[in-house]
Structure 1
Amino acid sequence: MKRAGAQWMFFSMMAFSAIHRPALARAEEVVAILSSEVAAYREAYEGFQDALGRRVPAALLSREEPEIGPETRVVVAFGGKAALRHYPSRVTVVYCMAPGTKLAPQEFGPSVVEIQMLPRAEVILSKIKEIQPSLKRLAVFWSSKPLESDLRELQRASAKAGIEILSEQLGDPKDLPERLRALYTKIDAVWLTPDPILVTLRNFSILKEFSWSNAIPFYVPIAGLVEQGATASVSADFREIGRTAAMAVKQVLADKRIQGTFYPMQAEVVLHPRMAQWLGLEIVQNPPEERKKGLP
């Protein structure tokens, strides 16, 4: 539950407004469960419904107990608190918006499907390389053990991108300033993973100050952080994460046995123009089918 609480802080830090209560959950084939009133969950839920092409009843855990009836085949969990609940073994669990949470398939029965917060590692690195073509050494900060597999994916994708990944796991987030001082002359940029233990106001302020003081780009996994001073974000918007969850649910309803991880297809890049210009970064225009935004 500590991890779920950290995820609530993670999304609340983005300054999203509270959501309206979803429709009361009923025992149906597909049921959605939202961990809290954070608007990010609502956006993902709406994207999920749109892509699925049907109304899906939803329960808000802070207000009601979900009803999982005999007709229910799939539970779609939005957030760590919803993902970590116990569900009947016959139900397939599709969970999203839960950074730092990894569910083992044997815990739940038929299958467990994780929807990643971010696009694939090769997409992330290619987008960062577009922004900073001279990038050779990228420090990646993380803490939560479940994110270790994501770091391995970055390492595998790094050779093709021509980037050396310096994997910096922090046993204690308080060690961040000391670790940054040690890396100062060894890196060209910093990437902060979507780790609920690390994405705090304190750590963000430390990384932002390090970036501005040393002219080292600071890349983040959430667009909202660019407004607060990060150089750029590479992410998937919350509706896209919901749409990806719908893809998985459609396969389950078509009686396909699926398990493992689904990744959002579309990447969103948001730049902080003033900081990018100050750092001398090359801002490359994306092809029309890709999404790229710049702050005023």
Structure 2
Amino acid sequence: MIAGRFQIRKFWNSSTEARGGRLEAAKTEFRPLASHLRSLMKYNIFFIFLFFALPARGFVETDVTRVVEASEEVVILKTNQKISQYNIPAEVFKKALPYPIRELDMEGDLDKGQRLIAQVKRDKPRLIFAIGDKATFLAKKEFSETPVIFSMVLNWNKLKISENKNITGISLDVPPESQFTQLKLVAPRVSRVGVIYSPEASQELIERAKEISSGLGLGLVSYQVHSEKEVKKAWDKIKDQIDALWMVADPIVITTNSFEFLQKQTLRQKIPFMGYSESFVKAGALLSVSPDYETIGSQAASIAAQILEDKQKPWDIQVAEPIGTVITLNKNTAKKLGLLLDDRILSLIDRTFE
């Protein structure tokens, strides 16, 4: 029995020694491999850190960069860039400002304009430069805090710009004194100027013109209408009292039909007809004094600098009159009216049509 126990203990001891030897051998054999694995784990942990940390950092920087760029951005919103006149102030404005500028074209479509403005609102630009009636209308409607500068809007009061404290801009209406002065230069015998207007659109302008005309030795004969249909009646009332007709940018009065009627009637009675843009002169009116579009772009950039750099509020900046003007003359019409234009007068004219 004792011998049996001894044999068992001997077997156990020998087995234990054998296992211990094999374990030590295994440790010795796998120690380099374990060390290598530990090294790999260190590197893996490092690379895992890089994998998760660096992209996360990259996203943060990208988002911050995008937000900063958006907050620095100035947006030009055009009513329709196919109208070449709208592109002139936009180009001057872009060159004058040291900010990222994005141009958006409504293509004359208010629905597209709404979609563009929804995108603009998300980006939160620093300032909007609206060019044209529709762009100005939407900017006024959709933005109550972002500064807005409008331009290229005839009779801008019709949009009730003064209701918004965040909007200012440049009028497209040349002051009456500038127009009357040029009219007297080309047609010095003029003494009584007629004008057909609607009080809804032009009352303030007509009141100002009455004050100015007397100082220039002119009488102003005005006649109110409330629709285009009344233009013929108005002409019959004033035609024998005037020796020149002044066209104002009144959308109720001036349409294609009413212009053609007045152009024919004034030419028939040899009465100088003064339009408010060169397109009317090209179509047969005698003369126009219209804004210089490049100067409007410069004025808009100057106002933008006052807002962005000098931190002035838009409501503290009055709507500006256009500084530069372009005088356009139709030589053929002048000849039909019997006007004699010497070289001195012609040298003062910027553009002519035959």
- 1:108 aligned onto 2:152: no
Q: 1:180, CA displacement in angstroms?
A: 0.7
Q: 1:133 pairs with 177, 180, 188, which one?
A: 188
Contact 1:119/1:236 (<8 A) preserved: yes
Query: What TM-score do you get using the length of structure 2 for normalisation?
Result: 0.68
Match of residue 249 from structure 1: 304
Query: What TM-score do you get using the length of structure 1 for normalisation?
Result: 0.80
Q: 1:278, CA displacement in angstroms?
A: 2.3
What letter matches 1:72 in structure 2?
A: P
What are structure 2's unaligned runs of at least 5 residues?
1-69
Contact 1:267/1:291 (<8 A) preserved: no
- 1:190 aligned onto 2:242: no
Within-5 A mapping of 1:25-44 = 28-36=72-80, 37-44=82-89
Q: 1:275 pairs with 333, 337, 341, which one?
A: 333
Q: 1:105, CA displacement in angstroms?
A: 5.7
Contact 1:30/1:56 (<8 A) preserved: yes
What are structure 1's unaligned runs of at least 5 residues?
1-25
What letter matches 1:45 in structure 2?
A: A
Contact 1:91/1:108 (<8 A) preserved: no
Aligned length: 269
Contact 1:46/1:242 (<8 A) preserved: yes
Deviations 1:228-269 (A, max 9, x none): 111111111333333332232222222233333211112211
Q: Which has the higher helix share?
A: 2
Contact 1:72/1:91 (<8 A) preserved: yes
**Per the alignment, do residues 229 and 252 of structure 1 end up closer, same or farther by CA in structure 2, a change over 3 Å counting?**
same
- 1:65 aligned onto 2:104: no
Provide the rounded CA distance (Å) in 2 between the counterparts of 1:262 and 1:154.
18
**Per the alignment, do residues 140 and 46 of structure 1 end up closer, same or farther by CA in structure 2, a change over 3 Å counting?**
farther
Over the matched positions of the two proteins, sequence identity in percent amounts to 23
Deviations 1:95-150 (A, max 9, x none): 122223324466433x3214111332221211111111111111122236243222
Q: 1:294, CA displacement in angstroms?
A: 1.8
What letter matches 2:317 in structure 1?
A: Q
**Per the alignment, do residues 200 and 158 of structure 1 end up closer, same or farther by CA in structure 2, a change over 3 Å counting?**
same
**Per the alignment, do residues 152 and 250 of structure 1 end up closer, same or farther by CA in structure 2, a change over 3 Å counting?**
farther
Within-5 A mapping of 1:136-215 = 136-143=191-198, 145-215=200-270
Q: What secondary structure is seen at the aligned counterpart in 2 of 1:260? A: coil
Q: 1:187, CA displacement in angstroms?
A: 0.4
Contact 2:221/2:241 (<8 A) preserved: no
Match of residue 353 from structure 2: 295
- Structure ranking higher on relative contact order (CA contacts 8 Å, 6+ apart): 1
**Per the alignment, do residues 43 and 168 of structure 1 end up closer, same or farther by CA in structure 2, a change over 3 Å counting?**
farther
